[in-house]
Structure 1
Amino acid sequence: MALRTDEPGIRGLFRYQPEAAQPLNQLSEVLLCGDSPLSRAERELIAAYVSSLNRCRFCYHTHAAFAAVRFPEGMALVDQVRADPESAPITAKFKALLAIAGAVQRGGQEVTEDHVRAARQEEATDREIHDTVLIAAAFCMYNRYVDGLATLACDDPGHYAQRAELNTGYVKVWNDALDEAV
Structure 2
Amino acid sequence: MTAQISRFPIPPIESLPEDIRSRLLAVQEKSGFIPNVFLALAGRPDEFRAFFAYHDALMEKDSGLTKAEREMIVVATSSANQCHYCVIAHGAILRIRAKNPLIADQIAVNYRKADITPRQRAMLDFAMKVSTAAHLISEADFAEIADHGFSDDDVWDIAAVSAFFALSNRMANVTAMRPNDEFYLMGRLPK
Same fold (TM over 0.5): yes
Q: What is the CA–CA distance in structure 2 between the aligned matches of 1:150 and 1:82, rounded to whole Å?
A: 19
Deviations, residues 72-115 of structure 1 (Å, cap 9, x unaligned): 323x1122222222222212111111011111111321323332
Mapped contact 1:9–1:59 kept (Cα < 8 A): no
Aligned to 2:86: 59
Does 2:112 correspond to 1:107? no
Structure with the greater alpha carbon radius of gyration: 2
TM-score (norm 2): 0.74
Residues 32-47 of structure 1 mapped to structure 2, 5 A cutoff: 32-47=59-74
Specify the SS of the correspondent of 2:92: helix
2:94 is paired with a residue whose SS is helix
The answer on whether the counterparts of 1:50 and 1:105 sit within 8 Å (CA) in structure 2 is: yes
Q: Partner letter of residue 130 of structure 2?
A: V
Whole-angstrom CA distance in 1 between matches of 2:133 and 2:36: 23
- Alignment match of 2:178 (pick from 152, 157, 166): 152
Distance 2:175 2:41 in 1: 12
Range with greater deviation from structure 2 (4-13 or 34-43): 4-13
**Identity level (%):** 23
Cross-structure match for 1:130:
156
Distance 1:34 1:68 in 2: 19
Residue matched to 1:25:
52
Conservation of the 8 A alpha-carbon contact between 1:54 and 1:140: yes
- Return the letter of the residue paired with 2:82: R
**Counterpart position of 1:2:** 7
CA–CA separation in structure 2 for the residues paired with 1:148 and 1:104 = 21
Unaligned runs of 5+ in 2: 1-5, 12-33
CA RMSD of aligned residues (A): 2.3
Correspondence list, 1:168-179, <5 A: none
- Range with greater deviation from structure 2 (108-117 or 92-101): 108-117
State the TM-score, normalized to the length of structure 1.
0.78
Partner amino acid, structure 1, of 2:108: R
Deviations 1:89-148 (A, max 9, x none): 212111111011111111321323332222111112111111000000000001111212
Among 103, 121, 134, which residue is 1:95 paired with?
Answer: 121
- Selected match of 1:139 from 165, 168, 171: 165
Moved more, 110-119 or 56-65: 110-119
Q: Distance in 2 between matches of 1:102 and 1:9?
A: 25
Q: Does structure 1 conserve the Cα–Cα contact (< 8 Å) formed by 2:36 and 2:178?
A: yes
Q: Which whole-Å CA distance do the structure 2 matches of 1:99 and 1:154 have between them?
A: 29
